[in-house]
Amino acid sequence: MDLTVLSFENHGLVRVIRLGAKAALPAHQAGHYALLQFGDHPARPYSIANSPNHNYLEFHIKNGGHAGGSTFATTDLKVGDTVIFHGFGGNYTSVPDCPRPLILIAGGTGLAPMLSIAGASFKSNPTRPVFLFYGGRHASDLYFDARLKEMMKLHKNFSYIPALSEDLVDDIACGTIGDIAMGHPDLLSARIYVAGPVDMVRTTVHHALAKGVAPDVIHSDLAAMDKTQK
């Protein structure tokens, strides 16, 4: 299926891209990825950042500094260009009828699926508490900081907790985001989602299990990430 670039915003090394189609888009679940092909580069999965709708798909794509589809998408892609869509996938999806609070833990562009899951929760259960822990090494890594602060104003049940592991910035916690999230008082009663760099995801999941969180309420793509690295 051909998609068209509707718009994009640049946030440092990350480009937020919206894609649409002439016909209604097929439905996806919050947390899904889409398999996208940019130019002549091989198709690869990109997490969807918006909650399900039939109008557009949003992606947060980082320029990794090497040749490939992501670099093409963040440097050469223009509004009106065609992107080939090969379908949705992923087992990392929201559970809309779950009454538990949500603890969302993200690093880097792992923020994208968290935004989708949070948005879906706002629609299905507008009073459920949603806690988003978002971290990086440097202040520039928090590329969506201003937008997340706006979300807190719009949704009284939404809390945004940023953290930096290297830079020291006023009003931002210092430390790794997984360690900071593990101190949340609702940890054992929440449903937890983790996304970001593979080492961060692995460490955070391990710590959550060690804290006594039930495995069936911890969601990550760790198994798929480990398979990709083999």
Per-residue pLDDT reduced to its tens digit, 67-103? 799 999 999 999 999 999 999 998 778 888 889 999 9
Rounded Cα–Cα distance for residues 74 and 86 (Å): 20
Q: How far is CA 196 from CA 78, 112, 190, 191, in A?
A: 27, 9, 19, 17
Residues of CATH 3.40.50.80 domain(s) within the chain? 102-229
Please compute Rg for the chain using Cα positions: 17
Confidence of residue 22 (pLDDT cuts 50, 70, 90): confident
Rounded Cα–Cα distance for residues 197 and 38 (Å): 22
* The two structure tokens encoding residue 101: 């609070």
Residues of CATH 2.40.30.10 domain(s) within the chain? 2-89
**pTM of the entire predicted model:** 0.93
Architecture of domain 2-89: Beta Barrel (2.40)
pLDDT exceeds 70 at position 28: yes
Can you give the pLDDT at residue 23? Answer: 86
Can you give the pLDDT at residue 230? Answer: 43
Confidence of residue 192 (pLDDT cuts 50, 70, 90): very high
**Mean local confidence (pLDDT), 37-53:** 94
Strands 158-164 and 173-174: parallel
3-state secondary structure of 61: strand
pLDDT exceeds 80 at position 228: no
**Mean local confidence (pLDDT), 110-121:** 96
More confident residue, 223 or 133: 133
Rounded Cα–Cα distance for residues 34 and 111 (Å): 15
Task: Choose which CATH entry (3.40.50.80, 3.40.50.9100, 3.50.50.60, 3.20.20.10) describes domain 102-229.
Answer: 3.40.50.80
Confidence of residue 229 (pLDDT cuts 50, 70, 90): very low
Count Cβ atoms within 10 A of the Cβ of residue 200 and give its class: 0-12 exposed, 13-18 middle, 19 or more buried.
Answer: buried
Cβ-Cβ contacts under 8 Å for 23 (sequence gap 6 or more): none
Can you give the pLDDT at residue 224? Answer: 58
8-state DSSP, 181: H
Rounded Cα–Cα distance for residues 98 and 140 (Å): 34
